[in-house]
Structure 1
């Protein structure tokens, strides 16, 4: 059986406004003087918010745990600003209609379930793994291994769908296939322009 494991931010939802506001609040609270919205946005798209916070902790000697806790709290306060990306709901409904099993593996924290519920898409997922689930962060494949083992997923029929290089890397590390909105096609990755392209790839 085909299975989709979804990334969340930048793939199914647009949380840019919430993330950037939470990061700016974090920089102010910890008195970091180098806030540059465009440069920071480019960095987290290429890497991740987690890596940005690790970098700032290393540069300033600030507790990484404190930074992450503050940022997560600030982001959760802004969950009402999160929106579905175009075609998200249609893609999830298509996969559901085709009998494709759907999961999520995201770095977003404990508020993920409530966000998905509010956006009307939580019911599409058999299981949702978040930053609060206790697994290693991507590109470590621990979370994917857990889902594959628990649900007996066939690696040849399992796809990680994301929007960053990190998402291709976690698929590669887990020995499954990748579908990605920004990374070029390769032997392990299929680039798509829009989530609607999934219908062309997987219609029976």
Structure 2
């Protein structure tokens, strides 16, 4: 029986693409247009390209932007601090997030998050989504000293939830860091569909978070 469900954050619970787009537009309106004549579209497009879907931390992104666009009156450090402080106000959840978590919680399942990233930043994003109270364990790589796909961070999360790997499933959007890594420790892996990656080799796929409670019900019936 499935007793616990663990989630990735970015691209799984948090619609990161929409959140980044929203943030970059707000940052342009608040800061960039006052110090530069570059267009909003140019700034947003370059920001998203340099960000590389979150795999490049913003210190490097902002250093590049300041250099390329010859931004005056603002430093890359100032832009980075703005990102850290303001991004949580731009967080966009995927549809049916709260309803799905409420259903799983009501069913008695233990819930967890395993996320790569900086601790306080990711914690702020979770709080912004209004979902922190649903989770029994939240592991963020900076605070744990471990990163996905390291098996140790999955095993640590399972230990905190007091469940065995075969009693749990992991839901994420990254084929290697999430699905393959979860499988490697004996968990079931459920892929949250993401157009950036191929679905090849995925045993279980959900397009919408609303599908998850029914999938778990079916898995428990088949076990």
Matches within 5 A, 1:23-38: 36=46
- What TM-score comes out, normalization by structure 1 length? 0.71
Distance 1:105 1:73 in 2: 25
- Kept after mapping to 2: 8 A contact 1:2/1:101: yes
Partner of 2:86: 77
Partner of 1:191: 205
- Kept after mapping to 1: 8 A contact 2:139/2:157: no
- What TM-score comes out, normalization by structure 2 length? 0.65
Distance 1:123 1:113 in 2: 12
Distance 1:72 1:16 in 2: 20
Q: CA offset at residue 19 of structure 1?
A: 4.3
Q: Which runs of 5+ in 1 are unaligned?
A: 26-34, 61-66
Distance 1:5 1:98 in 2: 15
Aligned-partner SS, 1:77: helix
- Kept after mapping to 1: 8 A contact 2:114/2:157: no
Task: Give the aligned length.
Answer: 178
- Kept after mapping to 1: 8 A contact 2:18/2:92: no
Q: Does residue 134 of the first structure (1) align with residue 148 of the second (2)?
A: no
Cα 1:195–1:139, aligned 2, differ >3 Å: closer, same or farther?
Answer: same
Aligned-partner SS, 2:144: coil
Match of 2:179 among 163, 168, 181: 168
- Kept after mapping to 1: 8 A contact 2:91/2:128: no
Partner of 1:202: 216
Q: Which runs of 5+ in 2 are unaligned?
A: 29-44, 65-75
Partner of 1:93: 102
- Kept after mapping to 2: 8 A contact 1:79/1:115: yes
Q: CA offset at residue 149 of structure 1?
A: 2.4
User: Between Structure 1 and Structure 2, whose CA radius of gyration is higher?
Assistant: 2
Give the structure with the larger helix fraction: 2
- Kept after mapping to 2: 8 A contact 1:2/1:100: yes
Partner of 1:13: 14
Distance 1:17 1:83 in 2: 6
